[in-house]
Structure 1
Amino acid sequence: MNLVENIRESLRSIQGNLLRTILTGLIISIGIMSLVGILTAVDSMKHSLTQTFSSLGANAFDIRRKGFNNRGSQGGRMEKIYPQISYQQATEYKDRMSDNAVVSLSAFISGATVVKSTTEKTNPNINIVGGDENYLQTQNLNLARGRGFSSFEHEFGSNVAIIGDEIKSTLFKDREAIGEYLTFLGRRFKVVGQLEAKGSSMGGSGDRRIIIPLETGRQIPRPGGSQLNYDIKTAIPQPEELNYVMGEATGIMRNVRGDALGLEESFEIRRSDSAIQTLEEISGYLKVGGFVIGFITLLGASVGLMNIMMVSVNERTREIGVRKALGATAVQIRQQFLIEAIVICILGGFVGIFLGIMMGNGIASLIGEGGFIVPWLWVVVGLTICVAVGVISGYYPAFKASKLDPIDSLRYE
């Protein structure tokens, strides 16, 4: 009896005990379904949340001069003050990075500003920001009404503005703001756009913001003749490339700023993906917990499979005696029972993997929108575990069957 004949005999035995095979396969299916389902759900939720965080700017980083928020001395030692990032430096960086990322330049023009319309005025709590053509995109700001700035308005510094939702409610109340005029910082601006309301997600400050073209902001005189400090935000399509692009950006910015070799940078880079990093850590714990739960379920399934295989050995004692009398060796008998256990596990595993994928994606879809995920890694792991369970659960019954005495087996009732 060779290996091929053993496989055929095992399949015939499985077919002859179809109901028992189905029930045994269901035990394995439930175990694999719990394992693959939990891990698929974690991966799917992670994918969905990663996309959400990316849309909130998690795939970006900011560049500012080092020590821009210094508050004097620390520990009795005065902190070093680095020069501000000039407009020439910011534009040079933007030009050199434009092939690999979307770069926006912005500058804080004024805070605690009073803004007036023809009939109303705000409290002195409005922030004025100058932004370039990529500012709305990199800051993930959406327009509720109106339009963004045109290329002409950006290039020549036109007096146009995009206002926050609270400013519209304060100055224009029940009438349309688009096309109206505002006065602030000694200039008259035409409203061309209105931002979507941010509400409490930004402490309300996002709704008290006015955006003007960066070139317009550069033309507005600064108190005491001080220079604007430019903020640089770099966004990339794929969050997993963030470290690589940050390294490239560091090299370009050092060159642009003229930082000598061996000296520290005169600027600092701040990642915007802390949410994704936290998610990675949490999902790692969830995967460990899911694997442990699935493993415990599979352990119970393997015990059930071993019990059923033991029953099968007892039921087929006379059959084993006949095979041995006809010349079957102990190895061939052991091989036959092992093959049966492995085939049952694989069949149950395929069903469990399918149900697990559907269950995992179903759970994830209840939490947030995301693409349908097939976790190939966990599919391979699941099938590997199925084979391992089949070998472990089937070995002892197969070993017991191979050791039966043919004469005693033929007498067995």
Structure 2
Amino acid sequence: MKDIFTEIWATARRNKLRTALTGFSVAWGIFMLIFLLGAGNGLINAQLQSSDRFLTNSMMVFGGWTSKPYDGLKEGRKISLNEKDMTSTGCLFADNVDNVGASLSQYGVTMSFGNQYVNPDLAGVYPNHFEINKRELLYGRFINNIDIRERRKVLVVNKDHAKELMPKGYARLVGRHVNINGTAYKVVGIYKPDKSMQDNETFTPFTTIKTIYGMGDEVGDIEFSFHGLVTEQQNKDFEDRYRTKLNTNHRAAPDDNSAVWLWNRYMDNIQMNTGIGIIRTALWIVGLFTLLSGIVGVSNIMLITVKERTREFGIRKAIGATPWSILRLIIVESVIITTIFGYAGMLCGIAANEYMDATIGHEKVDTGMFEATIFANPTVGLDVCIEATLVMIAAGTIAGLIPARKAARIRPIEALRAE
């Protein structure tokens, strides 16, 4: 075996350009596959990270404007959701709906503590708001059912506002009382802002804000989680039934999609998963074709090698070399070249992905509604890298086998005649 390696090394040194081009095609194929998969995974992970800001199986309902006349009323009426809509949601759709809540806001209030003050939006919410919108609590607690039932004057403020009100040791604001437009509220929690448009909100119990500001039966936006809606068709059927009921509550046409707006996050998730599947498939197709170009390069070079060395193989057979020895020489040469350069391509691909992760993988962009990451963990699993390299090695072996069989079968007299 040592003699074979020595001979292969000597052949490679005599044909540096040919060996380098063969190796480059192999390395480039594996490098591009790993790099493309890494970049694609970075985009996909960033998208998944952004979508993870909300509970997947949740829905938000907003009042809109009627777009068509109905029941003697003209189009263009503003629809404001009310307590009847909340009751309909929880009772008539109980087979699918879990916890029903609502969010009602009072904008531009002044919250002060000592000489410090901020101007948040005061949002009255139910306890399920924390789960549906995936708020991250830093200190204290969120709004609970007792707060709702007893209409407690309690607040959950964001970290930035807490720092402004109590610059030194903002965590100590929990348990203190702050003033909002002349009314004292107790701070019971501090949450982490997510750099979105909702970061200016300070939360209080839904019943408290309705009582203090006299908002009647208005409920603002309805939000709830649901179960049992798995397919796209099931979600569409539920949306149609639900919209029809709410439209009926407000004397709007049952098929008026503008009267009530539905934000179904599960449907968003289905569409996103479909898009991700298309991206993954496209990346694999491009990557595999790139690998194929490397395999073709190896095969072509091995065919050229056999043709150039035909006289040499004829002399070998004339002096007693067996077909197996010639076959083994060509196959081993193909495997060695593919393995060495394939491993180099794998390392370069991993290095490129790590560089991408260390640079643009930590950059964020302001979308106007929230701050999003461009790339998130743009890397490929080590198993994929190893598998790609093994595929290239196996392909290189097969690519070398075809010309090797041709060389092993050639008759010495024919080989010596070759030019």
Change (3 A) 1:373 1:339: same
Structure 1 residue 87 and structure 2 residue 93: aligned?
no
Post-superposition Cα deviations, 1:47-106, rounded to whole Å, max 9, x if no partner, equal 5424532443384654314xx3449899xx93576673622244458965578xxx6733
Instruction: Kindly state the Cα deviation for residue 232 of structure 1 after the two structures are TM-superposed.
Output: 1.7
Alignment of 1:202-351 (within 5 A): 202=196, 206=199, 208-223=200-215, 225-232=216-223, 234=225, 244=230, 247-252=233-238, 254-255=240-241, 259=245, 263=255, 267-271=261-265, 300-321=297-318, 343=335, 347=339, 351=343
* % identity of equivalent residues: 12
Structure 1 residue 152 and structure 2 residue 158: aligned?
no
Given residue 413 of structure 2, which amino acid in structure 1 is its aligned partner? I
Please give the secondary structure, in 1, of the residue aligned with 2:202.
Answer: strand
Change (3 A) 1:371 1:35: closer
Structure 1 residue 374 and structure 2 residue 368: aligned?
no
Change (3 A) 1:97 1:385: farther
**Equivalent residue number for residue 122 of structure 2:** 128
Please give the secondary structure, in 1, of the residue aligned with 2:146.
Answer: helix
Given residue 132 of structure 1, which amino acid in structure 2 is its aligned partner? Y
Given residue 244 of structure 1, which amino acid in structure 2 is its aligned partner? V
Change (3 A) 1:408 1:194: closer
For 1:396 and 1:189, the matched residues in 2 are separated by 84
Given residue 381 of structure 2, which amino acid in structure 1 is its aligned partner? V
Structure 1 residue 112 and structure 2 residue 108: aligned?
yes
Instruction: Kindly state the Cα deviation for residue 146 of structure 1 after the two structures are TM-superposed.
Output: 3.3
Structure 1 residue 191 and structure 2 residue 187: aligned?
yes
Given residue 130 of structure 1, which amino acid in structure 2 is its aligned partner? G
**Equivalent residue number for residue 64 of structure 1:** 61
**Equivalent residue number for residue 362 of structure 1:** 354
Given residue 87 of structure 2, which amino acid in structure 1 is its aligned partner? Q
| Contact 1:305/1:393 (8 A) holds in 2 | yes
Instruction: Kindly state the Cα deviation for residue 161 of structure 1 after the two structures are TM-superposed.
Output: 0.5
**Equivalent residue number for residue 27 of structure 2:** 30
**Equivalent residue number for residue 407 of structure 1:** 413
**Equivalent residue number for residue 19 of structure 1:** 9
| Contact 1:349/1:382 (8 A) holds in 2 | no
Please give the secondary structure, in 2, of the residue aligned with 1:56.
Answer: coil
For 2:342 and 2:43, the matched residues in 1 are separated by 24
| Contact 1:159/1:216 (8 A) holds in 2 | yes
**Equivalent residue number for residue 5 of structure 1:** none
| Contact 1:62/1:232 (8 A) holds in 2 | yes
RMSD (Å) for aligned C-alpha atoms: 5.2
Given residue 152 of structure 2, which amino acid in structure 1 is its aligned partner? S
Change (3 A) 1:375 1:92: farther
Q: Alignment length, in residue pairs?
A: 377
Given residue 268 of structure 1, which amino acid in structure 2 is its aligned partner? L
For 1:308 and 1:233, the matched residues in 2 are separated by 69
For 1:22 and 1:344, the matched residues in 2 are separated by 11
For 1:288 and 1:352, the matched residues in 2 are separated by 22
Instruction: Kindly state the Cα deviation for residue 168 of structure 1 after the two structures are TM-superposed.
Output: 3.4
Given residue 202 of structure 1, which amino acid in structure 2 is its aligned partner? S
For 1:296 and 1:410, the matched residues in 2 are separated by 33
Instruction: Kindly state the Cα deviation for residue 35 of structure 1 after the two structures are TM-superposed.
Output: 3.4
Post-superposition Cα deviations, 1:132-190, rounded to whole Å, max 9, x if no partner, equal 33323432333344332345334543221012345435555557432222344775321
Gaps of 5+ in 1: 1-10
| Contact 1:61/1:235 (8 A) holds in 2 | yes
Post-superposition Cα deviations, 1:5-45, rounded to whole Å, max 9, x if no partner, equal xxxxxx89955745369996955652443133213423542
For 1:155 and 1:106, the matched residues in 2 are separated by 15
**Equivalent residue number for residue 4 of structure 1:** none
Given residue 203 of structure 2, which amino acid in structure 1 is its aligned partner? I
Given residue 9 of structure 2, which amino acid in structure 1 is its aligned partner? L
Given residue 205 of structure 2, which amino acid in structure 1 is its aligned partner? P
